[in-house]
Structure formats: C-alpha cells, structure tokens
Structure 1
Amino acid sequence: MYKENKRPKLNLKTTPLEFILNAISLCLIILSVVYLIVEWPSLPNQVPMHFNGVGEADGWGSKWTVWVLIFIGSLLWVGMLILSRFPHVFNYLTEITDENAEFQYKNAKLMMTLVNTIIIVNFTYLSYQIVQVAKGLSNGLGTWNMLIFILVLLGTIFTFMFRSLRVK
C-alpha cells in the first residue's frame, strides 16, 4: 500500500492515441488563432461574450476579449498536458499498488488527454461562433451546445472512472 507521496513513479511513454489527441488539440488552437487573425479586420468593435441558456448572445464586449478565450484554452491545454505527465499525484477512487499502478496511471493519463481535447474542441467552436454571431452570420450557439459538451465531458470522465474501479 502506498500513501499519495509513496506511490510508485512510473516513466510512462506517450501512447499513439495520446499523441494524436494532443496533436489535434494543438492544431485546433493554431486554427483558432489563424481564424481570428483572418477575421479580425471584419469584426465589429463589439462581440458577444456571454450566451444565455438557449445559446443567444446576452452580453457583449470589446472585440479584443475574443483573445481571452483562446488564451484561456491554450493555458488550460498546456497546464493539463503538463499535469498528465505526473499521474502519481492524481486522486484515485482505488488504492494504488505495485500491481495496479501502471493500469491506473495509463487510464488516468488517457482520460486527462481526452478531456483536454474535448475542452479544446469546445473552445474552438465557441471562438468560431463568437465571430459568426458578431458578424451577423449566426444567431447564437444553438440550444444544444452546452448540454452536448457537458454530457460528452461527464460521459468521458465516468467511463474512465468505471474502468478505474473495474481493475483492482
């Protein structure tokens, strides 16, 4: 048995799936930046910065605030990427032992990478939609955006939690 600070520290390699998911996330961040640079001259001075429960814009701000979303998304991505390299410090639903450490760490690391990608996909969509609404090309985010995001995110987390509990 290990206490949190006595858990085995394993040198886990990045799996091909984790590499692909991280590459997708990075490409989406870059795509968001390029898209915003291209659309910048045609953006009005006021852009939507808040949307109500049905996806309609109900708060507006300076067009410069669009960069905040990309900055926060990038910061989150980097932070979660770094954190995923230290799975021995995560909280687990089961006790970490020599026998289950490798599986539990790999499971948690993949979950973090997938959650990171889901968040970046959503941030990319939000950045795109903010520009579309600001330019009058869209009415809002749509009714289902936030619900789908939350369900996919929670579904992913619960799936990995279930996997973690299955293996003792």
Structure 2
Amino acid sequence: MTGQSLSMKMTDLQDLYTEQLQDVYSAEHQLLEALDEMAQAAGTPELKEGFELHAGQTREQIGRLEQILGGLGAQPGGVTCKAMQGLVAEAREMVEKKADPAVRDAGLIAAAQRAEHYEIAAYGTLRTYAELLGRTQDAALLQTTEDEEKATDLKLTGLARSINMQALG
C-alpha cells in the first residue's frame, strides 16, 4: 500500500497508526500540488475558487498531521502514498485533455471526489486507531480533518449538479 520498505516490521497498532499517518501525509502533499494545477485548469470560477480553498485547507491538514506525528516522535516523511499517486495521475490526465471547458470541469470534479473519498476513508481509519490507542487529542484533530473532507465532497457534489448539466451540451 505504501512505498515504505517491506522490511520495516510492524509489531502493533501503534506502528500501523504511525505508518498510516505518514502515508496520508504523503497523500496530502501530492494532492496539494495537484489542486494548484486543477485550479488553473478549471473553467468555472466557482470550481477554481473551490480548488483554491481546498488547497488552503489541505495546508492546515498537513499541519495537523505534523503535530500528531511530532507527538509520536515520528518523522512525517519516508512513506509514499501510491493510491494518491494514481488518483493524482488521473487528475493530471484530465487537466491535459483537449475538452470542452464544462466537460473538463466535470472530469476534474470526478477526479477530486475520488481523492476526497480516499481521504475520508483514511482519516476515518486513523481516527479509530487514535481512539483505540487512547490518543484523544489526535482523534479530535483527525475528526476535524475527516469532517472537512466530507464537507469538501458535498461542495463538489453541489458544483457537479450545474457543471454536469453544462457538460451535457
């Protein structure tokens, strides 16, 4: 699932929690770079603004992850999220496609929502691990991020309603 060495031994949930935090940290950095590209490619001002706002929110989420990892005495790097690599590659393909602006925007929303759903799943799992490990402050921070990801997904759904209609032609 990650680019981390297969030789690293995980002995308990704490090890898995730390590795998964590093994985989502990688995912957020990859998505942040892609969001800037997606904002530039967006044809609809509302979508461009949505991607820009989510980029700002992603920077805050990265800060939360750094705080949590610091509290564990762990470094943020060292893991590459391969799932997000694939999602970002698909988003970049949409950015580069020759397409009607409304069609491209509909495709960008689809790519963004796939990434959001991945993040919602990751943060929900991490929050559960934090709760099981008795790390209540971590759990609260992770719940905040999960809630933000869900809200972003709902905003994208709202934008898709009008943009998808435009893409119909």
- TM-score, with structure 1 as normaliser: 0.42
Rg bigger for which structure?
Answer: 1
- TM-score, with structure 2 as normaliser: 0.42
Greater relative contact order structure (CA < 8 Å, 6+ sep): 1
Structure (1/2) with the larger strand percentage: 1
Structure (1/2) with the larger helix percentage: 2
